[in-house]
Amino acid sequence: MTTGDLDMQATKTPVLEAVNISKSYGEKQVLADVSFSAAEGEFVCIVGPSGTGKTTLLRTLSALGTANSGEVRVNGTAITRPPAEVSVVFQDYSRSLMPWMRVGKNIELPLRRYNLSPAERATRVTEALRDVGLEHAKDLYPWEMSGGMQQRAAIARSLAYRPQVLIMDEPFASVDAQTRADLEDLMLDIRARLGVTIVLVTHDIEEAVYLGDKVIVLSGRPASVSATVDVPLGRTRDQISTKSRPDYLELRAKIHAMIMQSPSSVSG
């Protein structure tokens, strides 16, 4: 990306914006004035200790939950219901795919809500499966596939909507380390090929720095954004060489220290 591209990105309306989001469950305030934005094609990672309110924030971002105050804007417009431009991938793929339906059907079914011809739906299923490297798996049932393949299928289902923004809640928490690394690289590749904006929540600092163009650090009780850390590692990342770079290691340590200092990391 050139300096000119960066200047243009800075002046463009963000694709997704959280503006002073506050949220309470009864008396308990979970989020306080959380603000951040994601530009077109940006990979934004949100990290914070367990129980900080990351899922609550993502539910608000996708309008699956409501905030007590503040607003979420998509392309500059405040949203009140789940917007067509935003799609969500949850952690628990085993609950997001219907076990009695073949993978192709799992991806195609939610598209029926839209005014698409059967041929257009079939094209989208084929393309989404290709985007995640599952061309061969269309006729399999979810239970015939590994955990990593099931999560790929769940990602394909989200991509079939052709969203501008993909929101992911701890998407790789239930798979082994090698599969996790493969899925991380898949998401970098999807961002590069499709230009989709990705907002990914994780408690894994290493993952956040490896994937993100910027990392939003949530901390405190109630949680607010304690830092927005730019990750100037370029867009081409590699599990071994990127993770050995001194600037990667420095950023990882810096964010780790921020989270360790946060009151929410000790209060449980």
Ligand X SMILES: Nc1ncnc2c1ncn2[C@@H]1O[C@H](COP(=O)(O)OP(=O)(O)OP(=O)(O)O)[C@@H](O)[C@H]1O
Cα–Cα distance measured from residue 23 to residue 65, given in angstroms and rounded to the nearest whole number: 10
Task: Provide the minimum distance between the beta carbon of 104 and ligand X in the complex, in angstroms, as a whole number.
Answer: 31
| DSSP-H helix ranges across the chain | 3-11, 54-61, 93-96, 103-108, 118-131, 147-159, 177-194, 205-211, 241-244, 246-261, 264-267
Contact status: 22 vs ligand X (CB under 6 A): no
Q: Are strands 214-219 and 224-230 parallel, antiparallel or unpaired?
A: antiparallel
263 lies in the site for ligand X, by CB under 6 A: no
25, 100, 114, 143: residue in contact with ligand X (rule CB under 6 A): 25
- Choices 43-51, 117-125, 155-163, 207-215 (CB under 6 A): range interacting with ligand X: 43-51
Cis preceding-peptide flag for 222 (omega within 30 of 0): yes
Q: Is 50 in the site for ligand X (CB under 6 A)?
A: yes
Could you tell me which stretch among 9-17, 53-61, 192-200, 244-252 binds ligand X (CB under 6 A)?
A: 53-61
Residue from 24, 29, 35, 55 that binds ligand X (CB under 6 A)?
55
Smallest separation (angstroms) from ligand X to the CB of 223: 8
Alpha carbon distance 138, 266 (integer Å): 46
**What length is written for the chain?**
268
Rank residues 128 and 199 by Cβ distance to ligand X and give the closer one. Answer: 199
- What is the closest distance, in whole angstroms, from the C-beta atom of residue 56 to ligand X in the complex? 3
The whole-angstrom separation of Cα 268 and Cα 264 is: 6
Pairing mode of beta strands 16-25, 69-74: antiparallel
Smallest gap from Cβ 108 to ligand X, in A, equals: 30
Closest approach of ligand X to the CB of residue 260, in Å: 16
For residue 203, the minimal CB distance to ligand X (Å) is 5
Number of residues engaging ligand X in binding (CB under 6 A): 11
Q: How far apart are CA 119 and CA 124, in angstroms?
A: 9
CB neighbours of residue 60 within 10 Å: 24
C-beta of 55: minimal distance to ligand X in Å? 3
Residue 51 engages ligand X in binding (rule: CB under 6 A): yes
Q: Does 173 help bind ligand X (rule: CB under 6 A)?
A: no
Does 203 contact ligand X by CB under 6 A?
yes
Q: Which tokens hold the place of 15? A: 């694709």
Residue 53 makes contact with ligand X by CB under 6 A:
yes
Instruction: Provide the token pair at 231.
Output: 């990750």
Q: Is 14 in the site for ligand X (CB under 6 A)?
A: no
54 binds ligand X (CB under 6 A): yes
* Residue 231 touching ligand X (CB under 6 A): no
Residues 6+ apart with CB under 8 A from 43: 187, 188, 191, 197, 198, 200, 211, 212, 213
- Which residues form the interface with ligand X (CB under 6 A)? 25, 30, 48, 50-56, 203
